């Protein structure tokens, strides 16, 4: 498999015009420019900034031609009622966590799913037999069987875009600025700084998956809540929430 950048983009024709340098890149970009630097992609979602507009959800569908009955990412909307407090809205953007220790990888009988160089958990559709073991293994319900291709499908962190020096579609269009994406291997990157400066948490820490998707402002009550009740579905109280298993 040719996973290097040029190889991946080989099919894309290009017109090249040099850009002037007045919109300066940050130190992160300079770091990333070093020939031997391999980025490790991660996302930091600041829940305080999510407005639940679903721009990410729709952008992902458009960018990735996600089939009718599935999502690679979406925003769960909850009305959260805690004892003695007024109800409050919580929006929880969800996607593949691109785990350091992805439970979906070892269960694949044909080694179709794998960790790529920059940490993305990907599926090689030419190998996938559609057995759905990975779908069952994922603690975040982030995978589905694409009914068109009959193979496992999921968020790729917009692999095709990051290889082109661009950002994932969901990040580009995040209205509230909740989704932040970048290189966790670069201490000067925006995401590294967010991790250094904020208390963060991950979904389902008890699964020991070591996600590369972090959350600022995630209530414990929601950290396990991945099976998901509906947007505007019955409010749940802190007491009643069970850490749901994948569907």
Partner 1 sequence: MSTRRNILKGAVATGALGTFGVGYAGTLEKVAKGHWSGERPLNNITGNSAAPEFTVTPDGDVELNPNQQVSYTMCIGCTTMCGVRVRIDKEKGKVVRVAGNPYNPLSTTDFLPYGTPVQESFRAIAQAGEGDGQRHRSTACGRGNAVLQQIDNPRRVLKPLKRVGPRGSGEWQTISFEQLVEEVVEGGDLFGEGPVAGLRDIRDLETPINPDAPEFGPRANGLAMLSSVNDGRDEINIRFLKQAFGSQNYARHGSYCGGSYRSGSGAMFDDVKGMPHAKPDFGNAEFILFVGTAPGNAGNPFKRIGALVAEARSDGKLDYVVVDPVLNNSDSGPSGARSRWVPITPGTDGALAMGMMRWMFENGRINAAYLAQPGKEAAEAAGEANWTNATHLVIVDETHPRAGRFLRASDLGQEISGERYSDADPFMVASDSGPVPAAASAAPLFFDGVAETTDGPVAVRTSLTLLRDEAMSKNLEEYSAACGIPAETIADLADRFTSHGRRAAVSSHGGMMSGSGFYNAYALMMLNTLIGNLNWKGGTLVLGGWFPDNKGPAYDLATFPGAVKPSGLPLGRNVPYEKTSEFKAKKAAGKAWPADGPWYPNAPGLGTEWFSSMVNGYPYGIEALILRNANPVYGIAGIGHLVERLKDPAVLPLIIAIDPFINESSALADYIVPDTVMYESWGFAKPWNGVPSKVTTARWPVMEPKVSKDADGATIDSDLFLIAVAKRIGLPGFGDAAIPDADGTLHPLNRPEDWYLRGAVNVATIGTPVPEASDVDMEFSGVTRIRPDLEAVLKPEEWRRAATVFAKGGRYENLDKSYSGDLGAHTWAKPMQVYNEGVGAARNAMTGQRSPGTPAWREACFADGSKVAEIYPRSDWPVKVISFKSPLQNSYSVGAEVLLRIVAANPVNIGRALAEAHGISTGDMVRLTTPGGSLESVAIVRDGVAPDTVAIEHGYGHRAFGARDITIDGEPMPADPRLATGTLQNDLGLLDPTRDKTGVWVDPISGASVRQALPARLEKIA
- Hey, which residues between 24 and 63 contact partner 1 (CB under 8 A)? 24-26, 28-29, 32-33, 46-55, 57-59, 61-63
For partner 1, how many residues bind (rule: CB under 8 A)?
128
| CB 59, CB 35: distance < 8 Å | no
| CB 210, CB 218: distance < 8 Å | no
Asked whether position 23 contacts partner 1 by CB under 8 A, the answer is yes
Options 100, 105, 137, 176; binder of partner 1; rule CB under 8 A:
176
Q: Which is nearer to partner 1, 22 or 239 (CB)?
A: 22
Q: Which is nearer to partner 1, 100 or 130 (CB)?
A: 130
x-or-dash pattern for partner 1, window 58-87, by CB under 8 A?
Answer: xx-xxxxx-xxxxxx-x-xxxxxx----xx
Asked whether position 144 contacts partner 1 by CB under 8 A, the answer is yes
In angstroms, rounded to a whole number, what is the distance separating the alpha carbons of residues 102 and 93? 19
Radius of gyration of the chain (CA): 19
Asked whether position 195 contacts partner 1 by CB under 8 A, the answer is no
Mark the segment that binds partner 1 (CB under 8 A) among 15-23, 100-108, 200-208: 15-23
SS (H, E, C) 145-199: EECCCCEEECCCCCHHHHCCCCCCHHHHCCCCCCEEEEECCCCCCHHHHHHHHCC
């Amino acid at each position: 498999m040719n996973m290097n950048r040029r190889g991946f983009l080989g099919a894309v024709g290009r017109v090249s015009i040099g850009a002037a340098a007045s919109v300066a890149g940050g130190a992160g970009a300079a770091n990333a420019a070093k020939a031997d630097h391999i980025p490790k992609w991660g996302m930091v979602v600041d829940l305080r900034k999510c407005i639940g507009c679903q721009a990410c959800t729709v952008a992902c569908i458009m960018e990735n031609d996600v089939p009718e009955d599935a999502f690679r990412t979406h925003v769960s909307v909850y009305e959260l009622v805690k004892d003695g407090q007024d109800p409050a809205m919580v929006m929880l953007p969800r996607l593949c966590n691109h785990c350091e220790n992805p439970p979906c990888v070892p269960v694949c009988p044909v080694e179709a799913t794998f960790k790529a160089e920059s940490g993305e958990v990907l599926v090689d559709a030419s190998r996938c037999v559609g057995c759905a073991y990975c779908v069952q293994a994922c603690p975040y319900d982030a995978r589905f069987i694409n009914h068109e291709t009959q193979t496992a499908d999921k968020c790729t962190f917009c692999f095709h875009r990051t290889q082109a020096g661009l950002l994932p579609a969901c990040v580009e269009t995040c209205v509230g600025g909740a989704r932040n994406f970048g290189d966790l291997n670069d201490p000067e990157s925006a995401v590294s700084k967010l991790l250094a400066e904020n208390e963060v948490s991950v979904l389902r820490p008890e699964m020991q998956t070591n996600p590369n998707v972090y959350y600022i402002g995630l209530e414990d009550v929601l950290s396990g809540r991945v099976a998901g009740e509906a947007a505007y579905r019955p409010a749940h109280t802190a007491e009643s929430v069970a850490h749901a298993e994948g569907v």
